[in-house]
Amino acid sequence: MLDFILHNYQILTVIAIALAILVIRFRNARLEEKRRTEEGKRIVVWHRTLERCREADDYRLEPQELARFSDSGMLKAFEFMAGQEGAGSCERVLEANSAELVRRISEKADTEEKGFFAYMLSEHGKGLGAKAEKVYTEFLFDLLLSDSVYCRENALRALYGFGNAEDVARAVKVLSDAGKLHNEKLLSDGLASFSGDAGELSEALMKLFPQLDDHSQSAVVTFFTFAGIHSYDGFFRDRVAEADVSTDQRCDIFRLLMKAPCEETKEILIRELLENGSSGSWEAAAVAATGLSSYPGDGGVISALLEQIKSPHWDVRMNCAFSLVRLGPGDDTLNGILSGGDAYAADALRFALSAEGKAQQ
């Protein structure tokens, strides 16, 4: 037997590993089946609870129901009920039990469970009465100070859904003051999902704008860009001239301003391109070059683009080339670049012509 093992130990090792993998897979399958069975039971129990509340027109939960309120079965039952007759049962439950639910959830040490509850509020907390909404808002503001992005994002999503502009603006300031650098895209996209009046939200944000950190200010500017809010363009035209504005925010401001072309914005874009298109701080100039494509027939614009298509920076050259192709200054002008002495400028223009589907000059 020993000789057999010694001569076939590699084969036996492979067989042992294969058996171990099969045992692990079988065990995991049994655990998953058990989890699904238990979750299915919880969903059924919550269905019955919600049906009972609806039939009795009494949405107060029993203590044992409150204790397991934030489990996954509850959320799936809520999602099911939201698509059925009497979908308002979910909101009625949240409204009738707001104080007790917040008390119990706040006592939990598990931040993931708190974040899960905030997610549930974001999905089913719209249309609550003022009293319940206030209770939940206080809980959500506490959650904004969590180190967990999951908790902060779900708290913000719930506040966006509540639709109170002052609360959302205050939430942005809380994150800024606490140094919680919430993902800028998540923040700007979230502001765009606000369920209330976008004009009221923009006004509330601008009241606090000078007190926000650069990161939060950029998110606000990006929100204005995608929401088409240009009521404060004059403020932002002045702001790009300030020395303490970061390069990223300058770029964001130019993206906002270029969506609403006007003479004042054109002059700012030309100045930025000419002053910085060939400098070490070229990023905002590259954005300005794209923005100038909105001013056809303007000699000053064409002149600035022709100068900076020779920039040492690839992004500036390419954006100048695309703007020139879109503005169509004439064959003589374009041929002058193609046959000129700057090979990099000529290559940029050829690429832009090809990308825009225009015949090479």
Q: Could you report the per-residue pLDDT of 301-331, keeping only the tens digit for each?
A: 999 999 999 999 999 999 999 999 999 888 8
325-361 pLDDT, tens digit per residue, is 999 888 888 889 998 889 999 999 999 999 877 655 4
CA distances in angstroms from 126 to 82, 163, 201, 238, listed in the order given: 12, 8, 17, 39
What is residue 151's predicted lDDT score, i.e. its pLDDT? 92
For residue 138, how many other CB atoms are within 10 A of its CB? 12
Percent of the chain with pLDDT over 90: 55
Q: Where are the domains of the chain?
A: 40-162, 165-260, 273-361
> Which pTM was predicted?
0.82
For residue 99, how many other CB atoms are within 10 A of its CB? 12
pLDDT band for 52, please (50, 70, 90 cuts).
confident
CA distance 279 to 271: 13
